[in-house]
C-alpha cells in the first residue's frame, strides 16, 4: 500500500465524528443529504423504481439499525454509513483512470465524473460499501462532505457544514478537522474513545465512530456484543456491512 507523501502528513483531515450513543436512526441525515446533493455538486441523484417492490437509488448516506443484547434485554444501535475519506483509500489505488482521487489540501476523497468510466472497481475495493453507482449516467458517485457548502462563502459561517450535520436533530454528527489535535472533533474522539471502522485493513479512515457509553450496554450481551469496547462494536458493524 502506497504511503502518503510527507507533505500531506500534517495536512487538514476534514471528516465526520458520529456518536452511536445519540443517533436515533431518524434518517434525517440521509434525506437532507439526498436533497442537497440532488441539486448540488453531483446533481441529480436518481431513484430507481421508488414506488415498486424493490426501490433503490443513489444515496450517499445510509442508516442501518440492529439489536445488541440478550433476548430479554436489548439495545437498538443505529449505524450511519457513508464514505470515510480514508487516509489510504483503496478506491483511489484501483481506479484505472484517476477519476477517484484524494485532495491534498483537506483529505476529501472525490470522483471526477468527467473521466469516470463506470468500471465499478472502486466500489469492489471499498470495504465499507460507500460507493454509489449512477445507472442513468454510468458513473460512480459518493459523499463529498458537501464541498459546495463547507467552502461556500455566500453562506453564513455557521452553516458551512455538511448537510447531514446541519440537519441531525440529536447532534449525533460532528464535522471538523481531525488532523488538528486541538479541534473540537479531535477532542471529542479523545474524550469518548472514538474508533475506526475495520482498522485491521490499514486504510485509516478519517471519519470516527463514538461507541455507545458503557452504562447503556445490556448486562447480558450476545456474542460479539459491545461489552468489551470499541473492537467488539466494530465486529458488530462488520456483520451489518457483510449482509
What pLDDT does 223 receive?
Answer: 42
How does strand 62-69 pair with strand 56-57?
unpaired
Give residues with Cβ within 8 angstroms of 183, minimum separation 6: 176, 177
Q: What is the mean pLDDT of residues 41-48?
A: 85
What percent of the chain clears pLDDT 90, i.e. is strictly above it? 73
Residue 239 has pLDDT above 80, yes or no: no
Separation CA 56–CA 37 (nearest Å): 16
What pLDDT does residue 145 have?
A: 97
Three cell numbers at 227? 461489552
Give the model's pLDDT for residue 4: 42
What rounded mean pLDDT belongs to the chain? 86
Q: Calculate ∠ Cα 121-8-159, nearest 5°.
A: 85
Instruction: Determine the pLDDT at residue 215.
Output: 53
**pLDDT per residue as tens digits for the range 80-138:** 999 999 999 999 999 999 999 999 999 999 999 999 999 999 999 999 999 999 999 99
How far apart, in whole angstroms, are the C-alpha atoms of residue 146 and residue 63? 18
d(CA 240, CA 193): 21
Higher pLDDT, 38 or 109: 109
Torsion sign (Cα): 146, 150, 156, 157: positive
What was the pLDDT predicted at 73?
Answer: 72
In this predicted structure, what is the pLDDT of residue 225?
38
What are 7's three cell numbers?
507533505
pLDDT band at 41 (very low <50, low <70, confident <90, very high): confident
Closest CA to 166 of 26, 27, 29: 29
pLDDT at 7 over 70: no
Fold (topology level) of 6-241? Alpha-Beta Plaits (3.30.70)
Q: Cα–Cα distance between 58 and 38 in angstroms, integer?
A: 10
In degrees and rounded to multiples of 5, residue 160 shows phi and psi of -85, 70
Q: Is residue 143 predicted with pLDDT exceeding 80?
A: yes
Q: Do 45 and 34 contact (CB within 8 A), yes or no?
A: yes
What's the rounded Cα separation, in Å, for the pair 161 and 163?
A: 6
Tell me how far apart the alpha carbons of residues 86 and 204 are, in angstroms, rounded to a whole number: 5
pTM over 0.85: no
The domain spans of the chain are 6-241
Given a cut of 70, is residue 149 above it in pLDDT?
A: yes
pLDDT at residue 122, rounded to an integer: 97
The count of residues in the chain is 243
pLDDT digits (tens, 9 = 90+) for 208-238: 999 987 654 444 443 433 334 444 555 555 5
**202 vs 51, 80, 82, 86, 199, CA distance in Å?**
40, 21, 18, 9, 6
The alpha carbons of the chain give a radius of gyration, in whole angstroms, of 18
Amino acid at each position: 500500500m502506497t504511503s502518503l507523501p510527507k507533505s500531506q502528513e500534517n495536512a487538514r483531515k476534514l471528516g465526520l465524528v458520529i456518536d452511536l450513543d445519540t443517533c436515533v436512526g431518524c434518517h434525517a441525515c440521509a434525506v437532507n443529504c439526498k436533497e442537497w446533493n440532488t441539486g448540488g455538486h453531483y446533481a441529480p441523484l436518481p431513484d430507481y423504481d421508488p414506488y415498486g417492490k424493490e426501490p433503490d437509488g443513489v444515496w450517499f448516506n445510509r442508516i442501518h439499525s440492529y439489536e445488541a443484547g440478550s433476548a430479554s434485554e436489548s439495545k437498538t444501535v443505529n449505524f450511519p454509513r457513508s464514505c470515510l475519506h480514508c487516509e489510504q483509500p483503496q478506491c483511489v489505488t484501483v481506479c484505472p483512470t484517476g477519476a477517484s482521487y484524494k485532495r491534498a489540501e483537506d483529505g476529501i476523497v472525490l470522483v471526477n465524473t468527467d473521466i469516470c468510466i463506470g468500471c465499478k472497481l472502486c466500489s469492489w475495493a471499498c470495504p465499507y460499501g460507500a460507493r454509489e453507482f449512477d445507472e442513468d449516467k454510468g458513473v460512480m458517485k459518493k459523499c463529498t462532505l458537501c464541498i459546495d457548502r463547507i467552502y461556500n462563502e455566500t453562506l453564513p459561517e455557521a452553516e458551512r457544514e455538511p448537510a447531514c450535520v446541519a440537519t441531525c436533530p440529536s447532534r449525533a454528527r460532528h464535522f471538523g478537522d481531525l488532523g488538528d489535535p486541538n479541534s473540537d472533533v479531535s477532542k471529542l474522539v479523545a474524550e469518548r474513545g472514538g474508533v475506526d471502522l475495520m482498522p485491521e485493513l490499514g486504510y485509516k479512515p478519517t471519519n470516527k465512530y463514538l461507541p455507545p457509553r458503557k452504562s447503556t450496554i445490556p448486562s447480558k450481551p450476545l456474542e460479539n456484543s459491545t461489552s468489551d469496547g470499541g473492537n467488539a462494536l466494530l465486529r458488530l458493524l462488520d456483520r451489518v456491512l457483510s449482509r
